[in-house]
Each structure stands twice: as structure tokens, then as C-alpha cells.
Amino acid sequence: MSAPTSGFNLKEWIFTTDHKRIGILYLIGSIAAFALAGIMALLIRIEQGAPGPTIVSDNFTGGDQYNVWLYFHGAAMILGFLIPGLTGFAANYLIPLMIGAKDVAFPRINALSVWLFWAGIVVALLTFVIPDKPDIMWTGYPPYSISGTRGNTAFYVFTVHLIGFSSILASVNFLVTVIYMRAPGMGWNQLNMFVWSCVTALIIQLIFVPVLAAAVTLLLFDKYLGTHFYDPANGGDVLLYQNLFWFYSHPAVYVIFLPAMGIFYEIFATMAKNPIFNYKAAVYGGMCVIVLISGEVWVHHLYYSGMPDWIRIGQMVSTLLISVPVGLMTISLFGTLYRGAVTFNTPMYYGAAALYLLLIGGLTGIPLAMTVMSVHLGETSFTHAHFHFIMGIFATFSVFAAVDFWFPKISGRMLNEGQAKLGFWLNFIGVNITFWPLFIIGVEGMPRRYWDYSQFPAHFADYHKVATIGAFIVALGMALTISNWILSAIKGQKAGDNPWGSKSLEWTHTATPPGPGNFPKDVTVDASWTPYNYH
Amino acid sequence: MSNSTSSPGHVHHWETSVAPMLVVGGILFLVVFGFAGWFAYNSKMMAFVSAGLGLPLLLAGVAKWTAEGLTHKPLIEGVSPAALPIFIVSEVFIFLGLFVSYWTMRLSAGDNWPPVGTPTDFNLVLPIIMTVILVTSSLTYHVAEVKLGKGDLGGFRTWVLISIVLGALFLGCTVYEYSHLLHQNFGPSTNAYSSAFFSITGFHASHVLVGLGVFVAVLLGAMKGLTNKYFSFCAGLYWHFVDVVWFFVASQVYYW
Amino acid sequence: MKRAVSAMALIGLWLPAALAVAGPKGGLPDPAASWEHLWRDVLIDLFIIGVVFLTAGLYWVFKYRATRPGQVGDAPKLDRLSAIGWAVVPAFLFMADDFYLAAKGWTVWNEYRNVPRNALEVKVTGSMWAWNFEYDNGVVTTFDPDAKEGEGLVVPVGKPVVLRMTSSDVVHSFFLPQHRVKEDLMPGRVTYLWFNPKAPGETIATCTEFCGNRHSFMWTKVKAVPQADFDAWMAKQKQDKKA
Ligand code: HEA
Ligand code: HEA
Ligand code: CUA
Ligand SMILES: [Cu+2]
């Protein structure tokens, strides 16, 4: 296959409308957000490493400093890193290649999406330089977020708007692409699991992001135009915002979770040289059912918020039932290994770790889902540990595994395996050291968003200290991993077209790396083709 | 800048366009920094400078985009009539978010509705006139499309122009109504009803404005003899959607 | 394959029945104790699920390693019946477990929400960043976390306490870790929680809904004292108030 001709041309990069380059622009932006938010995490961890002021100035201004770090950490990790990393980078780079299309349906809108996302990151970064820094947390609850002059809510709201609008446009673009641009002959049951996971995630995004947009717009109006939507003194309702926010933000976790699972399905099938175990159960019984019920469980974030009792109980049941579709997807993921021929390389290391992370993170969601358990465990470090395991580690690892797995295709070069594996082990060991202590003190009552905890028993400090050490191990692992990408992209060993022996179109039918138009020859598939035809 | 191929065959160079980046720059300065300057920092200076930078960027971006859309052959043709309804799904949910907020306040207020501060002599005739105007404009645009289908470019231009005038008239009514209400000290911050009233009608009006912008783009293209049936179809579809939403806005906000 | 499916079906029928056997009953309501009991059950339940899945996953990862280059897997192809079986049977098993957990959770939840009739009522107001407690005779107490001064919330041992709570500014949350309960406070609404101070002693309540700069410092002492001491304390408070 012919290699693409061209040296580096900056104009062709920043004005690009090619989905692969847009994907890479997403990746650069989201990793930058990750690194910055990660550095905030280190500041948070140092501060929490001991009770009393460590790096903040004193008890009276300390909160203001810490809250800005935590605001940026939460908002940037979710809006700036994970959602764009998965439905931006991975979906952009892979979907057209996997379905045999030359590009997406609307390349210019795709470019609009990526630059809207970048604009969102720029606005988020202004957090550090503007007066009245946002300190309202990624949840932005009123009345705090609309009271006083502090905590510049406008920059939070516009970050959400820009990134939200970007993801709505991306949803439309990719749904149309998958519906109309599949290679001739490719039926819905022949799609890659990753494509299905994105289709379902993007449907969720299309429906729920607008509600968030409405919720934060009203926040803006309340604060700056003096409207009264969230102001109980004038006929508004405090809980209205919380309901609208979680109506979006719970489904948003599946916007993250589904593509993350999709990536691991691809890695498992390729590395175990097996078809997906019970494909249809995972797609229709798992992913599609999640789309259907993800919008009926948001009250599990409001169990202790004073919602009527009947709805707290009703949504406990619907939340618990999420374990059914997720469980079917889990069985399918695990089952893909059964009687496989597993090759162990870095992506598969992440895959093996994912088995464990998915269980720890997912199963600890179950006590939180039980109303009565949550009135103790909710808003404590237990919640932290839950969502860091499932999102901050499982889903985050999926992005790292995806880059490692598709690296040869993207860059045309192989990673340095040794460094990649070392990075993996540091990451994996580090996150366990960081987040297990949080489970334990969470059950004992360590609240969230506290930089000082002197009122609690002295042994909390020991657990926090251990967690802080863990965070630095992760930082080392992440630095190794990210620097490996940069160095290997420049001077790694040249890769062949299909180093893993995959059967999926992006490996079998394209050059490495793919040039403009993706496929040297138009792709058609027949009814017996699947991306998992290993035997 | 753009160098799309005219044949859908194999592409051998990287496609580019400056339009998207111009649009994003425009939005960033005009909306984000403009709003922050005016409202968050009370700096008229910052607001005007930002808007002054943003507006030309945005207009240049849109103009460039429209020109490219009308002259370059896309990779796959005829999918925008399917894409727009998908986009409209998400628009529906934004409006739903706003309506839910309104309903929450309305239903929890019980008998205290409309809350104190609401003018008792609310003009309930104007919305009916506005409805007639908007519905008519949907019809006139439909006529325009029929003309285009028959290849009558002159007729198309005329009827698009009529639709634009009607749309502008609708916005004029809104401006009239707002200024009248503001004079009666009924502004966004007066009470719960005014909050909902201005947010919902304002949000709808912003959609009318966008729709008008699209019509202008269609018209400018048609003046140069450039038309694209999918583009004009989508413009119409969007306009009809804005029209339908108005029924909900009017019935919920004015007459309930 | 069919054997496995029918074995799972059998477990699916048996498990809910076995789990439906109710937990211990009777005695005075004590939400915190019920919580701890339930917590143990949940941990066991989740531990079993986790171990089953993890063992299978890790065992397969290591057992089915490729031994020669170019080797492919040889997973049996699922026929229609086993494909359906592998979806329906696990789905029912998971549902059974979900309903079991939901039922147990609901029972304890009812304890949490049904306030005993003889409960002592205290009005709580949260504000940035302090707690105010108002007893039904008008006595008001508070606590200053910096100087560690003030009475905080004082309650008699052995008598249920119900807190009627509201906020004067932003959202706060009253969290009593020792009694396994929290509930938010908002402006414009009154929420409640109750707890049963069984033994004398001092513990803390702390704010768990983000409320700005001094969120970490928004805590108060909660002291349980024998009824006689409580009455004496209350008399003294009334005295001080008059003075
Ligand atoms: C990727 C992100 C992600 C994912 C996938 C999940 C998945 C789940 N989450 Fe999590 N969650 C978050 C991210 C995520 N969460 C975040 C960010 C927060 C905090 C937000 C904030 O306040 O800032 C949060 C908070 C949060 C809360 C609120 C806690 C609080 O108020 O403090 C609750 C409560 O119900 C909850 C529950 C669940 C449940 C039940 C699942 C389920 O989907 C899990 C399902 C998975 C399994 C159950 C494991 C696999 C299944 C099997 C092995 C089958 C058998 C199992 C059974 C029968 C039980 N989560
Ligand atoms: C994807 C989501 C994600 C991820 C990956 C993480 C990652 C981490 N998180 Fe975060 N976290 C959240 C999402 C996430 N978090 C959210 C949503 C909240 C809630 C916020 C709220 O309450 O509102 C939260 C809150 C939160 C808290 C709670 C603070 C509090 O409540 O007071 C803590 C405390 O320990 C914490 C720690 C960490 C740590 C140590 C990591 C580590 O894993 C981070 C490791 C990464 C790095 C250290 C960066 C490494 C990179 C470099 C060093 C650059 C190298 C560069 C080159 C070589 C070019 N997080
Ligand atoms: Cu009050 Cu946090
Ligand atoms: Cu949730």
C-alpha cells in the first residue's frame, strides 16, 4: 500500500477537515487537559496529605485556593479530557476507518467541533488568570454559584456551552456517518463493537447535553440578569438545577463508559484472536438498553438532597437495574477471552487490568445506588474511590490503551514496549495505592471537597498520606506513558500495516498511517465478513 | 484555501477549510468574552472590543462556509435533510429543559400566579398577530421552494425575500413588546414569571434570528445564481421547526 | 454449553428464593445498627459477584495465552439457544440480586424515614459557615470550630432526636458519620433526619454539601448525655438566656 506523500505542513493541520487529523487534534487537547488537571490533582493530594494548611496559605483563605484546583480538576478531567478523548479522539480517528468510509459526513462541521472544544479548554484555562476565579466545582450548584460576586460562574457556563455544543454537533455528524456511509454490504450486526458503543453513546449525548446547556444557561441568567429560576425566595426552586444537572450528568457517565468498553472489546478480540462473545446480547441487551434506561436514574445523586421519598425509592430500583445491561456487556467482554490465544502486550496489560477495575468501580456503585446506604456513603471519599476506579482509572486507561493499541496505525511507528510496560505498572500500582485508602476513610465518614479534616480521627491523616504517595507514582507512570508517545512518534521503529494481525478494516485495508481518503481502494464487504473473523 | 475535489473519487491531498476556525473565533470573542465583559466585569470597553473582533470573524466564517457549501461537491450528497432532524432532536431537548423549569415554577406557585409585578393588561393580541406572521412566513418559504423546484430562480429569490421580511417583522414585534414591558418595569428580574417569559421568548427569538441569517445566506447565494436544494430545504425545515416551537411558546407563556 | 445454561437457570430459580429469607427483626428502631447490618450483607453479596467474575477473567487471561505465533482462538460458536440463554439467564440472575438488594434497602430506608413519635425535635439552621440549633423551648446553641467553643448539639441518651433543617443561604448538608445519616439543607425548604443516640459520648456533625471557602470547617460537636444531665443542662441554658 502506498504511503502518503507529504512533509509537515502546519496549515494543513490547523485548517484540516480530515477526520484523522481532527482526531489527533482532539487527542492533543484532551491530553493537555489531562496533564493540567492531573497537576491539580497532585496539588490536591499534597494539601490533603496532612490536616491543616500544607501548601495553602492559612485556614481562612485556604479554601479559596483549594476550591479552584478542585474545580479545575473535576471540570477538566470530565469535560476536557475523557469525553473529548473518547467521543472526540477515538471516535474521530476510528469510526470512518472501521466502517470503510473516506471521511465523516460533514468534514467542516467536524472541524468546527474540534475548535469549539479547544475554545472550551481555553476558556477553562482562564480560570487561573481571571479575577474572581471559578470555585463552584464541576457541579456548579446554586445558590452558591449564583450568589455574590465570587466564583466567576460565566467562565464555567461558557466552558460547558462550548464543549457541549461541540459534542452535539459531533453526535449529529457521526450518527449520520454511521447510518449513511458504511461500506457497501456492511450490515448493522457487522459493525465493530467500538462503533456500536459510540453510536449509543452519541445518542445519549444528543439527547442529554441540551438539558445541561439549558440548566447552565439559566444559571447564567440567574447570576447576571437577575432572573429567579433557582431562587426560592422569588418562586424559583433550588432543586431544579440539581435535577436538570444530573439528568444530564448521570447519562454522561455512560457517554464515557460505553466507548471505554468498546475500546476494550476491540483489544480483547484482537489480542485473543476470538470473535466477541455473544455480540448481540452485548449490543442490544447491553448498549441499547443502557440508552433506554440511563435517563431514569439521575436521582441517585440526590438521595440526601431532600427529594420526595417515593422517587428516591423508585430510582434506587432503576439504578440497581443498570447492573443488568452492564452485566451483559461484562459477560461478553470476559467471555471473549474464553479459549482465546491471548498475546500479552501493553494494550492487553491495560485490558487485563480493566477486568479488575470494571468490577471494583462498578460494584462499588451498587451500595451507592441503594438509597439508605448512600445517605451515609454519598458525598464521602467512598464516592471518590468509586468514580475514580470506574472513570478516573477504568475509562482513563481505555484512552491510554487505545493510543497504545492504535499507535502503529496513527503514527506509523511502534512504541517502546519496555517504557510502555513500565508506565503501565506504575500507573496500575499507583492508582491502587491512591484510591483504596479513600474507600476506607470514606466508610468512616471522610467528606468530599475538604482540604482540612482536623475534626476527624488522627488516623485519617495516615490514609491520606498513603494516597498522596500513590498519586505521585501515578504521575511518574503517566509522564513515562505520555513521553513515550511523543518520542516514539518521532523516532520509533517503523510499523507494518497490521502488526497485531487484526481483522478489522482499519488494519486490513489502509496504509500505515492512512493518507487522505483513507482507503487506497473502495471497500466493499460481503455478508460473511465481520471484523472478528479469526477462525 | 479550500481545495475539495470536484469528483467523489480518490482524494490525494489533505482537505482544509478556514471557515470553521473563523466561526469559532467569532463565537469566542463575540459571545463569551463579550458577555463576560458586559455582565461579569461591567466593562463596556471589554465588551465592545470583544464584539468588535468577534462579529467580523463570525461573519467572515459564515460567508466563507456558505460559499464553500454552494460550490464544492461534498463526499456524500443529500444527507443533510437527515442530519438536520437529528440536530432538531437536541434542540427540542433544550426547549424542553426551559419549559420544565417554567412548569416547575408555575406549578409550585399555586394560586400566587401570575406573581406580583406582572402587568395586568398583558397584550394578548400581539402574540396572535405574531403567530399569523410566522405561519405566513413558513408558507411563503414553501412557495419559494416550489419555485426553485420548477427552476424559477427569480421567483425563488422573491419569495425568500418575502419570508425574510416577515421574519424581521416578527422580530420587530418582539422588540416592540419587550420595550413596552420594560417600560412597565417588567424585566427579566421582576419575578418568576418574567424570568421564564424573557428566557423562553428570548431563546425562541434567537432561533428566529439564526433562521433569518440562514435565509440571508440562501438569498445571497441565489443572487449570484448559486443554489443547493439540500441547503434551501434544510433552511426551510429549520424555519418550520422554529415556527412549531412558537405554538408551544405562545400557548404556554401567554395563555396558560 | 446447554448443560451450563440449564445449570445457571437452576441457580437463577433457587437464588431469589434462598435470599428472600428475611433478616432479623424486632427491638427498638436503630437505623445506624440496621445500616451496619445491611452494609455487611451488601459487602458479602458484592464480594461473591466480584470473586466469581474476577477469577474467571484472570484464569482465562493466563490459561489461554498464545503459545505459538499466528495462533488463533477456538471459542465454540454459540448456537441460537445458548446465545439467548447467555443473555436471559444472567439477566434474571442479576435482576434477582438487584431486587433482593432493593428490598433490603427499602426496609431499612423505612426505618430512616419513620420518625418515632416521642422524638425530641430540634430546629437546625445552616449558614455560611455555622450550625444553629434551636430547641422547642427557644434555647439556641451553636459551636465555633476555630476556637472550639460553644455547646453544639446536646441530646439526651436513649431518646430519638429529629432534626428539622433549613438553610439561610446556600445548600449545606448535615452529616452525622457515627449515626450513618445525612440530609441536605436548602433555603426555602425544610428537610429532616432522625437518629438514636444510644450511648453517652461526643461525636461530630459536619457539612457535606459544597458551600464555599470554609466548607471544611463547617462542623459542630454533637454530645449525648444522660437524661438527668440533659435536663440540668437545659435548665442552665434557659437561665443564661434570661440573664
Ligand atoms: C464512567 C463513569 C461512571 C460509571 C460507569 C458509573 C457507574 C455507576 N455509578 Fe457512578 N459516579 C460517577 C461515575 C460513574 N459511575 C461519578 C463521576 C460520580 C460522582 C459525581 C459527583 O458527585 O461529582 C458517581 C457517583 C455515583 C453515585 C452518587 C454517589 C453520591 O451521591 O455521592 C451513585 C449512586 O447511585 C453511583 C452509582 C453508579 C452505579 C450503580 C453505576 C453502574 O453503572 C455500575 C454498573 C456495573 C456493575 C454493577 C459491575 C459489573 C456488573 C456485573 C459484574 C453484573 C452483576 C452485578 C450485580 C447483579 C450487582 N455513582
Ligand atoms: C477522568 C476523570 C478523573 C481522573 C483521571 C482523575 C485523576 C485523579 N484524581 Fe480526581 N476527580 C475527578 C475526576 C478524575 N480524577 C472528579 C470528577 C472529581 C470531583 C471533583 C469535585 O468534587 O467537584 C475528582 C476529585 C478528586 C479528589 C477529591 C478532592 C476533594 O474532594 O477534596 C482527589 C483527591 O485525592 C482526586 C485525586 C485524583 C488523583 C490523585 C488522580 C490521578 O490519577 C491523576 C494522575 C495524573 C497526573 C498526576 C498527571 C500526569 C501528567 C504529567 C505529570 C504531565 C506529563 C507531561 C508530559 C510528559 C508531556 N480527585
Ligand atoms: Cu456548609 Cu459545606
Ligand atoms: Cu450517576
Q: What is the pLDDT of residues B100-132, one digit of tens each?
A: 999 998 888 878 888 888 888 788 889 999 999
C182 ligand 3 Cβ < 6 A: no
* pLDDT tens digits, one per residue of A88-147: 999 999 999 999 999 999 999 999 999 999 999 999 999 888 888 888 999 999 999 988
Question: Could you give the percent of chain A with pLDDT greater than 70?
Answer: 98
A77 ligand 2 Cβ < 6 A: yes
Report whether pLDDT(A185) > 70.
yes
Chains B and A: 3 or more CB pairs within 8 Å of each other = yes
Predicted confidence band at B172 (pLDDT cuts at 50, 70, 90)?
very high
**Which residues are in the CB-under-5-Å shell of ion ligand 4?**
A 250
Lowest mean pLDDT across B250-254, C46-50, C100-104: B250-254
Helices (H) and strands (E) in chain B, counts: 8, 0
Cβ-defined contact of C54 to A379 (cutoff 8 Å)? no
Write the class of the CATH domain B79-256: mainly alpha
Interval A179-201 mean pLDDT: 96
**Per-chain mean pLDDT for chain B:** 90
Question: Could you give the percent of chain C with pLDDT greater than 90?
Answer: 72
What's the pLDDT at C16?
A: 45
Cβ-defined contact of A118 to B14 (cutoff 8 Å)? no
Cβ-defined contact of A236 to B32 (cutoff 8 Å)? no
What's the pLDDT at A517?
A: 87
Report whether pLDDT(A259) > 50.
yes
Instruction: Label residue A100 left, alpha or beta by phi (over 0 means left) and psi (-120 to 50 means alpha).
Output: left
User: What is the number of alpha carbons within 13 Å of residue A219 lying toward its C-beta?
Assistant: 32
What's the pLDDT at C8?
A: 52
A255 ligand 1 Cβ < 6 A: no
Cβ-defined contact of B109 to A235 (cutoff 8 Å)? yes
Chain A residue with Cα closest to C103? A317
CA distances in angstroms from C208 to A381, A456, C173, C202, listed in the order given: 11, 14, 5, 19
Lowest mean pLDDT across B99-113, B147-161, B228-242, C198-212: B99-113
- Complex-level ipTM: 0.91
A388 ligand 1 Cβ < 6 A: no
Atom of ligand 3 minimally distant from the CA of C126: 1
Report whether pLDDT(A486) > 60.
yes
Report whether pLDDT(B88) > 50.
yes
What's the pLDDT at A448?
A: 95
According to DSSP, the residues that pair with A413 across neighbouring strands are A494
CA distance C117 to chain A (A): 19
Interval A27-55 mean pLDDT: 95
Predicted confidence band at B207 (pLDDT cuts at 50, 70, 90)?
very high
Q: Which three cell numbers stand for residue A34?
A: 489531562
Atom of ligand 1 minimally distant from the CA of A304: 31
Interval C88-95 mean pLDDT: 96
* pLDDT tens digits, one per residue of C63-85: 999 988 888 888 888 999 999 99
The SS3 of residue B68 is helix
Interval A179-193 mean pLDDT: 95
Cβ-defined contact of C65 to A342 (cutoff 8 Å)? yes
Cβ-defined contact of A227 to B189 (cutoff 8 Å)? yes
Chain A residue with Cα closest to C190? A306
**Per-chain mean pLDDT for chain C:** 88
A447 ligand 2 Cβ < 6 A: no
What's the pLDDT at B229?
A: 87
Distance A417 CA to ligand 4 centre (A): 37
What's the pLDDT at A108?
A: 94
Q: Which residue has the higher pLDDT, B58 or A535?
A: B58
Predicted confidence band at B250 (pLDDT cuts at 50, 70, 90)?
very high
**How many CB atoms within 10 Å of residue A483?**
13
- Kindly list the partner chains of chain C, i.e. chains with 3 or more CB atom pairs below 8 Å: A
Radius of gyration of chain A (CA): 23
Chain B residue with Cα closest to A18? B15
Q: Which residues of chain C lie closer than 8 angstroms to A275, CB-CB?
A: 75
Cβ-defined contact of A12 to B16 (cutoff 8 Å)? yes
Q: Are A200 and A192 in contact (CB under 8 A)?
A: no
Separation between Cα atoms, residue A247 and residue A300, nearest integer Å: 10
* pLDDT tens digits, one per residue of C136-179: 988 999 999 988 889 999 999 989 999 999 999 999 999 999 99
Separation between Cα atoms, residue A149 and residue B40, nearest integer Å: 8
Which of A44, A468, A488 should be mutated for ligand 2, with most atoms under 8 A from CB?
A44
CA distances in angstroms from B171 to B122, B134, B188, B238, listed in the order given: 18, 10, 18, 17
Question: Could you give the percent of chain B with pLDDT greater than 90?
Answer: 67
Q: Are A499 and C69 in contact (CB under 8 A)?
A: no
What's the pLDDT at A235?
A: 86
What's the pLDDT at B9?
A: 46
Q: Which residues of chain B lie closer than 8 angstroms to A183, CB-CB?
A: none
What's the pLDDT at B11?
A: 57
Predicted confidence band at C21 (pLDDT cuts at 50, 70, 90)?
very low
